[in-house]
A and B are shown apart, each in its own frame.
Chain A
Amino acid sequence: MALLTVIGRGVRVRGRVTGDADLTIEGHVEGEVDVTGEVTVETGGLLGASVSARVIVVRGAVRGDLTAGEAVRLEDGARVVGDLRAPRISIAKGALVRGLVQTGGIETTLPRAKTAAKSTPAVAPRRAPTPAPVARPAAVAPPRPAAPAAPPRPAPMPVPRPVAARPVPVAVSHAAPKGPPPPVVPALKKGAKAALKKKAT
Chain B
Amino acid sequence: MAIAQTRTSSATSRHAGSSTHGGQAVIGAGTRIRGRVTGDGDVTVHGNVEGEVNLRGELFIAEGGRVVSDVNAESLRIAGALQGDVTATGDVAILAGAKVSGNVRGASVTLDDGAEMDGRLDADFVLPRELLGGIGAHDEDGPTAHR
Residues of A within 8 A of B (CB): 14, 28, 30-31, 46-50, 61-65, 71, 73, 79, 81-83, 88-104, 160-164, 166-167, 169-174, 176-177, 181, 185, 189-192, 194-195
Chain B interface residues toward A at CB < 8 A: 50-52, 68-70, 81, 83-85, 91, 99-103, 108-125, 127-128, 130-132, 134-138, 140-142, 147
Q: How far is the CA of A195 from the CA of B136 in the complex (A)?
A: 13
Query: Which residues on the B side are within 8 Å of A92 (C-beta)?
Result: 110
Using CB atoms, name the residue of chain A closest to B115. A103
Q: Are A98 and B116 in contact, CB atoms less than 8 angstroms apart?
A: no
If A61-B128, A176-B102 are given as contacts, then 9 extra A-B residue pairs at C-beta distance below 8 Å, sorted by A number, are A50-B137, A63-B134, A81-B131, A81-B136, A101-B111, A163-B83, A163-B118, A169-B50, A171-B84
Within the complex, the shortest CB–CB distance from B25 to chain A, in Å, comes to: 19
In the complex with contacts A30-B134, A49-B136, A166-B101, A174-B119 CB distance below 8 A = yes
The complex places the Cα of A162 from the Cα of B109 at a distance, in Å, of 22
A174 to chain B, nearest CB (A): 5
| A-B CB contact pairs (8 Å), 12 listed | A14-B135, A31-B135, A48-B135, A49-B137, A89-B117, A93-B91, A98-B123, A101-B111, A161-B99, A169-B83, A172-B84, A174-B85
Closest B residue to A96 by beta carbon equals B123
A190 touches B135 (CB 8 A): yes
- For A48, list chain B residues within 8 Å (CB): 130-131, 134-137
B147 lies within 8 A of A190 (CB): yes
Identify the closest chain B residue to A44 (Cβ).
Answer: B128
A-B Cβ contacts below 8 A, count: 177
> In whole angstroms, what is the CA distance A160 to B102 when docked?
12
Which of these, A89, A99, A160, contacts B140 with CB under 8 Å?
A99
Closest residue of A by beta carbon distance from B99: A163
Q: Which residue of A lies closest to B101 (CB)?
A: A163
* Smallest CB separation, A119 vs chain B (Å): 18
Closest to A92 in B: B110
Chain B residues contacting A161 (CB-CB under 8 Å) are: 99, 116, 118
Contact A166–B122 (Cβ < 8 Å): no
Q: Determine whether the beta carbon of A81 is less than 8 Å from that of B141.
A: yes
**B118 and A160 contact, CB distance less than 8 A:** yes
Are A191 and B135 closer than 8 Å at their CB atoms? Answer: yes
